[in-house]
Structure 1
Amino acid sequence: MRTHLFVTAAALVAAGALAPAIVSAQDAPPPPKKNLEVTGTAGFAQTSGNANATTTNFGNKVKYTARGWTLGEDLAFFYGEAENKVNANFWNGGLRAERRIMERIGLFVATRYDRNVLQGIAHRFEEGFGVDVKAIATPRDQLSFQVGGSLFQQRLTAGSTATAKRNFPAARLGLDYKHSFTELAYFQQTGEYLPNLSDSEAYLMNTESALVAPLSRRLGLKLSYVVRYNNAPPVRENVRLKTTDTFFSSGITVSF
């Protein structure tokens, strides 16, 4: 119940902050293009008394564009404890380089690291490549699709086993949609589907929904909901772990 009240309150705050931005979006000029975009987000919550819990989240994104090249970096971290027991420990970060070969078509290479202890993943590395196609590219709406492949190397936590191989290739289908209400207020949805090519019945799916409402020229409120799905999760101590992990976070974001 407390979680639902917190989510509702956070959503109301975001809606209130977005309202004037949405009203003025029709009259606002298109946002100027930036060669360098940097954002950082941090959030913290703590309860004590009859229940003791802490949650922390932070992340950042860096994007640099010049002469047909786009270089990007991103990082997300979630950590939580309840009654002195860890209930969330998730890292996810990556680097990506993209070269435009046509106005709306580019080639990319990327590397990524993630760690999800509660899902049995001590660490997992990914090296990927593919084609990025911009289906929509307007000042307010941007939609792109990615098709490619990846190589994974993973190590499970102690006592965990999995049917999937430690190292495996995967195909990759992805999308990235962003709607800008104003230069500072936007909604973004990303998703990826990663079918395991060495085990036809195993696959991964990851999504993130994010809403950013401006508080000032540089500061904003960000609400984020991350879903990590593994249809063939590891088994730990003869118990199959759950297929889905979700992370809801809210925090202050700084943009440059």
Structure 2
Amino acid sequence: MHYYLLNKEYSMKFVFIMLFSAISMSSFAQFKSEDSASVNITGGNTDLKTYTFKSDNSYTVEKSVYRAHGSYHYGESDSVRSAENWDFGLRYDYNFLPTTGMYVGELIEADRFAGYDRRYNTDLGLTHIFYKSDSATFLAEAGLRYAIEKPLDNSEDKKDFKGRIYTEITEKLQDNLKGKFWIEYLPNFSESKDYLVNLEPSLIITLTKTFSMKTAYLWKYDNEPPTGKSKYDHNYTLSLLANF
């Protein structure tokens, strides 16, 4: 319990330091924000409600990029809660070369339907852009992750050292249509069988300078999930995006 409180305090300090540093930067910085919302409400013979909200923000100053992102997903079936998960992350990138940089970040996840109450992830790694043009980009990231997972039954926290390999491809298919695919592999150095794989293909249709429509399929795989839980999670969304 004492370790958990220290870790929580560390996470909050990390949040405040990142926010204070970003706010205090030069007015010449570039700020970008992409926010999305997806709502599905069905009544009558089928009573189903799902809500998904996401926000991705970045603040660029010369070679430094400060990022903040969060998401929340909630679902009800016949007035009974059937899904609820959220995540919030902060990350700092420093590009010491035009196509190569390093990153450090903190990600907090919660998903009791997947068998855990909280998961705290501390990341450190490198990024590299292998290809970039006006119509396409291919980049990869590789790093280390220290994860602390708090089970639902209040048993001892699970602590793991993991790796992280991430690749992302984006391509402009038409003037108003962009495709994107990313995949993330998280090997577990503490327990080799307990690895994770996440991936998401998506299409974005530009409607106006500010608004777009996005269809995406998020797939998550946990090779050793908590007892009684499935190895697979997936979520299909059709969302309205707002870019600022």
From 43, 46, 49, the equivalent of 2:41 is 46
Partner residue in 1 for 2:159: 167
Aligned pairs for 1:139-158 (under 5 A) are 139-158=134-153
Cα separation, 2, equivalents of 1:188 and 1:68: 25
Match in the other structure for 1:252? 240
Percent identity between the two aligned chains: 20
Structure 2 match to 1:130: 125
TM-superposed deviation, 1:181: 4.4
User: Could you tell me which amino acid in structure 1 is paired with residue 187 of structure 2?
Assistant: P
Equivalent of 2:197, from 205, 217, 233? 205
For residue 214 of structure 1, the aligned residue among 206, 220, 228 is 206
Matched, 1:61 2:85: no
TM-score between the two structures when normalised by the length of structure 2 = 0.83
Asked if structure 1 preserves the Cα contact closer than 8 Å seen for 2:176 and 2:207, the reply is no
User: Superposed, which structure 2 residues align to 1:89-128 within 5 Å?
Assistant: 89-128=84-123
Q: Helix, strand or coil for the counterpart of 1:118?
A: helix
Q: Give the AA of the match of 2:226.
A: P
Distance 1:67 1:248 in 2: 36
Give the aligned residue type for 2:108: Y
Q: Deviations over 1:52-94 (max 9, x none)?
A: 1101011011122221112212222211111122222121231
1:241 maps to a residue whose letter is K
Quote the offset at 1:174 in angstroms.
0.8
Listed as ranges, the gaps of 5+ residues in structure 2 are: 1-28
Q: Which has the higher contact order (CA 8 A, sep 6+)?
A: 1
Specify the code of the residue in structure 2 equivalent to 1:250: L
- The amino acid across from 2:125 in the alignment is G
Measured in 2, the distance between the counterparts of 1:128 and 1:213 equals 32
Give, as a single letter, the amino acid of the residue that structure 2 aligns with 1:99. Answer: Y
Structure-2 change in CA distance of 1:87 and 1:109 (3 Å): same
Structure-2 change in CA distance of 1:77 and 1:70 (3 Å)? same
SS at match of 1:178: strand
User: How far is the alpha carbon of 1:115 from its aligned partner?
Assistant: 1.3
| 2:215 is equivalent to residue 243 of structure 1 | no
Q: Distance in 2 between matches of 1:179 and 1:64?
A: 23
Q: What are the Cα deviations for residues 194-213 of structure 1, in whole angstroms up to 9, with x where unaligned?
A: 11111111101112222211
The letter of the residue matching 1:146 is E
| Count of paired positions | 216
State whether residues 184 and 217 of structure 1, in contact with CA within 8 Å, keep that contact through their aligned partners in structure 2: no
Query: For residues 185 and 110 of structure 1, what CA distance do their matches in structure 2 show?
Result: 31
Shift, 1:185, TM fit = 3.9
**Unaligned residue ranges in structure 1 (runs of 5+):** 1-33
Amino acid at match of 1:246: H
Q: What amino acid does structure 1 have at the position aligned with 2:75?
A: G
Aligned CA RMSD, in angstroms, stands at: 2.0
